[in-house]
Amino acid sequence: MEYTTQMDAAKKGIVTKEMEIVAEKENIDVEILRKKIGEGKIVIPANKKHSSLIPEGIGEGLRTKINVNLGISRDCPDVDKELEKVKNAIDMNVEAIMDLSSFGKTEEFRRRLVEASSSMIGTVPVYDAVGFYDKELKDITSEEFLDVVRKHGEDGVDFVTIHAGMNRRTAEVFKKNNRITNIVSRGGSLLYAWMELNNKENPFYEYFDELLDICKKYDMTISLGDALRPGCIEDGTDGPQIEELIVLGELTKRAWRENVQVMIEGPGHIAINEIEANMLLEKKICHGAPFYVLGPIVTDIAPGYDHITSAIGGAIAASSGADFLCYVTPAEHLRLPDLDDMKEGIIASKIAAHVGDIAKGLSGAKEWDLEMSIARQELDWEKMFSLAIDEDKARRYRKESTPEHEDSCTMCGKMCSMRNMNRIMKGKDINILRNDD
């Protein structure tokens, strides 16, 4: 039996090879996976043309995944430098990479990225439109916006962020609310400006059916972008954000009717006490579709440390139902991240995702921590290193400060609680001051 997309196959009772791979990775029954894909609660972003992809599932009952943003810009146009980041990100086992390139040879970078990457690839086609056509934003036509999406599909992109929820009705709600940071989504601000300059409807909303046809052809997942996500704590969970979310829920059902897979993108800056409510709202209003969040960033005062503010929010979001975390680096709000920034952002997001998986009671999550606890009790340093989420850093720290006694570290020395409890529990003496073993 033929099928067009993973969702189409799932509805027809077909188990695809991608489903088999994901089910094995997640250690779940493939029929349960297939059913949830058919219901839209899980997606497998897998463009038919992305031959190097190792599929991943995102959604209910699966491990929380993370995404890394990369790409060239006018100020930092070095393709090879960005591809070095790509290699490192893949080596660190990230599940997804988004190409946010906005200048220069975007097509060259995108094609090389798709060819090299076993991870899912996402893009924001509206970023590419100005450079692709070499036109000012106002002069790009609706059909040209759609053609850029078509081009990304042809190039093998697995999911595309489309800011279709900010239609003219939503824009009016935005105008009536006095926001501190207005529209902070880059794609959202470009589309809002285009709508205002041309006095027209958002082309991705107006021609949503045509967009679905493109996505269906390549089996590209639509990540419905949050054009009106809050850009500061003060703007969090306001009218424009919720109005857009309602539209995204409507668009989700339209996409599902055409068997196009959907993710919903969520808030950026949210007070910590509002995160759980935001996760619940998305799942209810968008009918259980997988939720993809940026951060959330839980305070606005920490430039240079936003990987930490984001990890705090991401852990709470994941534990409350978010399925996919977009990493944030220490360079957020300051500059394009370098390789070290990227690595710190990845580790912070991985920690947040794992914390969420423990809270969700996901099979295998807590067992990892149990193994580490046993290794610590046994003072098995090699085992601790092998279990560490960042093995290289753990080894480096240990090496940089060598203890006098191998069964301790330089913080506690022979006062180490693990060392002394092990000795006492075995009926041995404790020798903190003596030099004997």
> Is 67 a known ligand-binding residue?
no
Rounded to whole angstroms, the Cα distance separating 259 from 152 reads: 19
> Is 227 a known ligand-binding residue?
yes
For residues 160 and 215, is the Cβ–Cβ distance under 8 A?
Answer: yes
CB-based burial label for 90 (10 Å; 0-12, 13-18, 19+): middle
> Is 416 a known ligand-binding residue?
yes
> Is 163 a known ligand-binding residue?
yes
> Is 305 a known ligand-binding residue?
no
226-242: b (≥16 Cβ within 10 Å) or e: bbbbbbbbebbebebbe
Beta strands at 120-123 and 96-99: parallel, antiparallel or unpaired: parallel
> Is 371 a known ligand-binding residue?
no
CA dihedral (246, 251, 253, 259) positive or negative: negative
> Is 185 a known ligand-binding residue?
yes
> Is 229 a known ligand-binding residue?
yes
121: helix, coil or strand? strand
- 293, containing H or E segment: strand 291-294
> Is 110 a known ligand-binding residue?
no
> Is 423 a known ligand-binding residue?
no
> Is 409 a known ligand-binding residue?
yes
For residues 95 and 66, is the Cβ–Cβ distance under 8 A?
Answer: yes
> Is 254 a known ligand-binding residue?
no
> Is 118 a known ligand-binding residue?
no
> Is 226 a known ligand-binding residue?
yes
> Is 152 a known ligand-binding residue?
no
Rounded to whole angstroms, the Cα distance separating 356 from 272 reads: 15
Tokens 């590209």 map to which residue?
A: 220
Per-residue 3-state assignment (H helix, E strand, C coil) for 194-243: HHHHHCCCCHHHHCHHHHHHHHHHHCCEEEECCCCCCCCHHHCCCHHHHH
Q: How many CA atoms lie within 13 A of 6 on its CB side?
A: 33
Q: Which residues are annotated as a binding site for substrate?
A: 69, 98, 127, 163, 185-187, 226-229, 265, 292
Q: Which residues are annotated as a binding site?
A: 69, 98, 127, 163, 185-187, 226-229, 265, 269, 292, 333, 409, 412, 416
Q: Which residues are annotated as a binding site for Zn(2+)?
A: 269, 333
Q: Which residues are annotated as a binding site for [4Fe-4S] cluster?
A: 409, 412, 416
